[in-house]
Structure 1
Amino acid sequence: MSREAIAAAAARFAPHDGAFLRRTPLWKLPGAAFGVRCDEVWLKLEHLQVSGSFKARGMLNRLLAQPIPGAGVVVASGGNAGIATAAAARRLGVRCEVFVPTVCSPAKRARLRELGAHVVVTGDVYAQALEACLERQRATGALLTHAYDQPEVVAGAGTIAREIEEQGGRPDSVLVSVGGGGLIAGIASWFRREARIVALEPELAPTLFAARAAGAPVDVAVSGLAADSLGAKRIGSIAWDITQQFVGDAVLVPDGAIGAAQRTLWKEFKLAVEPAAALGLAALQAGAYVPGERERVCLVVCGANVDPATLA
């Protein structure tokens, strides 16, 4: 993935700023605000994105870059990619069908239906929903939007890194949650080796960590707090290639630390975010990643499709 592809995605987005996509805020706070011994903690507030997650960038880029057939678009998702695809499809006036596993939260299913998507609930995990989705795509000829493993999707995610650099300069490190890997692949493709990119995964969904241990992508069992948003059972092929080049650290974070970080973000900063979005703070607070005292650490707060009542 090239920086040119990411810049092309950003240019493609320009006519749709505001209604289809947002330039999300970047907060810069002292590390002490989070009880962390580092110079600054930056929060890229991508949970404020249209459709409630960073997925809006990749899904919109895919739809804008490809001709959309009469059958519309189809996607398999734990929730967020489906919501993003449905939101983009609605704005473009095309049909959208979304396959989700049973682990997809009721809040995300309700949001999909609000956006006018036809929702099919099938399988216990994302991989099973994807199998059904691919079968449906072959039958209808609809445009397939993959949750994380398509070049346009990765390039769209990479515009986050470009935006961070435009808003605040280059951080020393960027902590990125990993499921299938589209987000980290895009961010690493932009920063390359000019910032330290750290992959964060729940202990109960270790796709990249397991792939590195095996020397190649492998299937893993997926469960735990973040299973609906980080529920891929295997790291994507694009992410595997890019992380091999540009990502040195892959860190596992326990569910207890993720839940605690969610509550901190809600109680202290009034940020209602889903578990995947709290991994960065969880890694810092649990000591899974220890920054230098003069380090500027950027956390990608990647999604907000959660019922705030669960955070009280």
Structure 2
Amino acid sequence: MVNRSEIDAAAARIAEHIQRTPVMQVRGFGLPYSVEMKLEQTQHTGSFKVRGAFNTLLSQPVPAAGLVAASGGNHGAAVAYAAQTLGHRAAIFVPEMAGPAKLALIERAGADLHVVQGEYANAFQAALEYEAETGAAQIHAYDAPATVAGQGTCMREWEEQGLQADTVLIAVGGGGLIAGALAWLRGARKVVAVEPETSSALHSALVAGAPVDVEVSGIAANALGARRIGTICFDLARAFEAQSVLVCDAAIADAQRALWQERRQLVEPAGATALAALMSGAYRPAPGEKVAVLVCGGNIAPDPLA
């Protein structure tokens, strides 16, 4: 498993390349208690993904053939940005569902963009074929130790900023972000995994006792649409007893709308998914329990200011 010393090393490695994202204490959203939020959608490229991308690129040699990554969109944008910053070539494979905002981000970073029919799993297969043909280095979106250690710097940073919560709610797709949080916290705080009902790779794995393939659809599928949860995430979720809850698309849309209307935070559906668990009652804190929500992504489609 990824450990705290690896996350400490990642934090030092990537410090000059990432943004320290803000935290705020919020009352509202129809809730009778306040919620602490970390606004990771203000990170470079609009999501936490650059943490893992920079950590991976800075901790291994990059071949002359450059880099390749498969992504629902946010990881691809992060790898493209990190590659451009560090002077490497990058080929990014994304499914059709990625959406115009994320495709535009990848293109602006100068990557070679490949749009693949189907879902994330199809893009990943195409990226594997490209890797075999060219010798490019594969940068996995979530199930690689360097990626998870990089994402773990988000929770490390949040604790440095004075996180007070007993419980942290985190949206889950392939599991890189929550895996990093679990690896850093190691049971010191309760971690709640929040997934859409229609893209529930971690929840299904915990029920089955092992990672399993799931069907993927819904409004957050271009960010949370992993067909199978990462092994690293699954092992950490079991070891540290992460709780898993599901939310419907309507609840995600309600939370997304509330973040804009009440706090002028423009986020993508995935970025609102953790808050949706509180607003919908999918997760109900105990009396006096302090809760926090990680807002993970802001690449909304269509981009209203494009």
**Length-normalised TM-score, structure 2:** 0.96
> Aligned partners of 2:222 and 2:46: how far apart in 1?
14
Task: Check 1:152–1:241 CA distance in 2 against 1; reply closer, same or farther (3 A cut).
Answer: same
2:98 maps to a residue whose letter is: C
Q: Structure 1 CA distance, aligned partners of 2:46 and 2:113?
A: 18
Unaligned runs of 5+ in 1: none
1:67-78 correspondence runs (5 A): 67-78=61-72
Deviations 1:226-261 (A, max 9, x none): 010011100001111111111331100000000010
Change (3 A) 1:261 1:100: same
CA displacement, residues 252-291 of structure 1 (integer Å, 9 cap, x when unaligned): 0000000010000011111110111101211101000001
SS in 1 for 2:222: coil
Aligned to 2:25, which of 9, 28, 40?
28
Cα pair 1:37 1:292 within 8 Å, conserved:
no
Q: Secondary structure of 1:23's match?
A: coil
> Whole-Å Cα distance in 2 between the matches of residues 294 and 50 of structure 1?
35
Distance 1:150 1:37 in 2: 39
Distance 1:116 1:254 in 2: 36
For 1:6, the equivalent position in structure 2 comes to 7
Q: Partner residue of 2:166?
A: 172
1:293-304 correspondence runs (5 A): 293-304=287-298
Question: Runs of 4+ in structure 1 displaced over 2 angstroms?
Answer: 307-311
C-alpha separation between the residues in 1 aligned to 2:254 and 2:32? Answer: 19
| Counterpart mapping for 1:156-167 below 5 A | 156-167=150-161
1:269 alignment partner, one of 250, 255, 263: 263
Q: Deviations over 1:101-138 (max 9, x none)?
A: 11110111111111101111113100010001001011
Q: State the match for 2:54 in structure 1.
A: 60
Gaps of 5+ in 2: none
Q: How many angstroms does 1:86 deviate by? A: 0.3
Question: Which residue is equivalent to 1:133?
Answer: 127
C-alpha separation between the residues in 2 aligned to 1:298 and 1:136?
40
Cα distance between partner residues in 2 of 1:307 and 1:128: 21
Q: Distance in 1 between matches of 2:63 and 2:193?
A: 36
Please, what is the CA RMSD of the aligned residues?
1.4
Q: Report the CA distance between 1:209 and its aligned residue.
A: 1.0
**Superposition deviation, residue 296 in structure 1:** 1.8
* Residues 241-250 or 183-192, more deviating: 241-250
Per-residue Cα deviation, 1:183-211 (whole angstroms, up to 9, x for no partner)? 11000111111100000000000101111
Whole-angstrom CA distance in 1 between matches of 2:46 and 2:241: 26
TM-aligned CA deviation for residue 170 of structure 1: 4.3
Partner of 1:44: helix, strand, or coil? Answer: strand
* Structure-to-structure mapping, 1:78-97, within 5 angstroms: 78-97=72-91
Q: CA contact under 8 A between 1:205 and 1:230: conserved in structure 2?
A: yes
SS in 2 for 1:228: helix
- In 2: Cα distance, 1:168 partner to 1:99 partner: 38
Q: Secondary structure at the match of 1:197?
A: strand
- 8 Å CA contact 2:25, 2:35 repeated in 1: yes
Tell me: CA distance 1:309–1:134, structure 2 relative to 1, closer, same or farther (3 Å).
Answer: closer
* Contact persistence 1:37–1:291 (CA under 8 A): no
Identity, in percent, stands at: 51
Q: How does the TM-score come out when normalised to structure 1?
A: 0.95
Aligned residues: 304
> Which position in structure 1 is the counterpart of 2:218?
224
